[in-house]
Amino acid sequence: MNNKNLNEQLLNINRFLSTIPTPNIQSVRAYVSTINISDIFPITFDTPYETLPPLANIDDTAEKILHLQYSHLTSAAVFSNGDCLLNSISLIFNANQTLALHFRLAMIVELMKFSDFYLSQKFFEEDYYFSDAALNSAKNSDMPTTYNKEREYIGEIAYMSKSHRFCSIVGVYGLASVIQRPIMSIYPPTISQLISSLYNKSIEPRIKVHDEPIMIMWTPSSGKWNINDPLPQTDHFVPVFKRNFSFPLKKKRSEC
């Protein structure tokens, strides 16, 4: 599937999800029922890169924060512009960032097609998991719902279905199921136990085919991190790899 087709699919999905009144969860599922996620990709997800891929650069700004907890790991630089989570997953599996659009579409289709599964998970009943955009869209909707956070969930998917939109942890859950393996979500150390419990954990896929997780980290693009901040803020994702000590590593500042 080429980029033109990917963009058209995402545009049509966004238009559908943004209609007024908002579609219910049954029509959301039905809209993508004929899309096969595996057909979106030119690759499989059997062999992610465990160490820094060739030609990738270290994000030394993010790595300083990563090393507050994990000195044996390293972080790679990826472009920002809202696609950093998708760029990170693409780099892990394809050694470059060219599949970000593929991962965005696959993530959206997964979350729409299997919405019953995600909305039945207890953790999706919390406001913390949804962006301000999704919470605000839910306030403006009076559609009848099947699930407690159905409006917020649909609003979140609608928001993320636009290219270059930052993805919430809802997107991370969808991506874990796309690649059928756990994603270790690393959040920098913080005194906020609530934030840590929400974002610093292993995200399990809907169906697990591979046991070995990949790793991503939430980070501030500014490179400034205060462990004692009770309301820490992150605005960027980077992929995380095991360090390879056999050769000197190239370093690069964050693209954010």
Does the N-terminal peptide bond of residue 21 adopt cis geometry, omega within 30 degrees of 0?
yes
Residue 254: band (very low, low, confident or very high) from pLDDT cuts 50, 70, 90: very low
Q: Residue 247 above 50 pLDDT?
A: no
Tens digits of residue pLDDT in 165-188? 999 999 999 999 999 999 999 999
The contacts of residue 35 (CB under 8 Å, 6+ apart) are: 9, 109, 113
Question: By mean pLDDT, which of 85-99, 132-146, 207-221 is the weakest?
Answer: 132-146
pTM over 0.75: yes
The contacts of residue 47 (CB under 8 Å, 6+ apart) are: none
The CATH-assigned architecture of domain 3-252 is Alpha-Beta Complex (3.90)
Tens digits of residue pLDDT in 143-168? 788 898 999 999 999 999 999 999 99
Tens digits of residue pLDDT in 64-78? 999 999 999 999 999
Q: Residue 256 above 50 pLDDT?
A: no
Residue 124: band (very low, low, confident or very high) from pLDDT cuts 50, 70, 90: confident
The whole-number average pLDDT for the span 185-197 is 95
- Distance between CA atoms of 223 and 206, rounded to whole angstroms? 33
Residue 22: band (very low, low, confident or very high) from pLDDT cuts 50, 70, 90: confident
Question: By mean pLDDT, which of 135-144, 174-183, 235-244 is the weakest?
Answer: 135-144
DSSP 41-99: -SS-SS---SBPPTT--EEHHHHHHHTTT-TTEEEB----TT-HHHHHHHHHHHSSSTT
- Distance between CA atoms of 27 and 47, rounded to whole angstroms? 35
Whether residue 153 contacts residue 182, with contact meaning beta carbons closer than 8 Å, is answered with no
So where are the chain's domains?
3-252
Q: Residue 59 above 60 pLDDT?
A: yes
Share of the chain above pLDDT 90, in %: 80
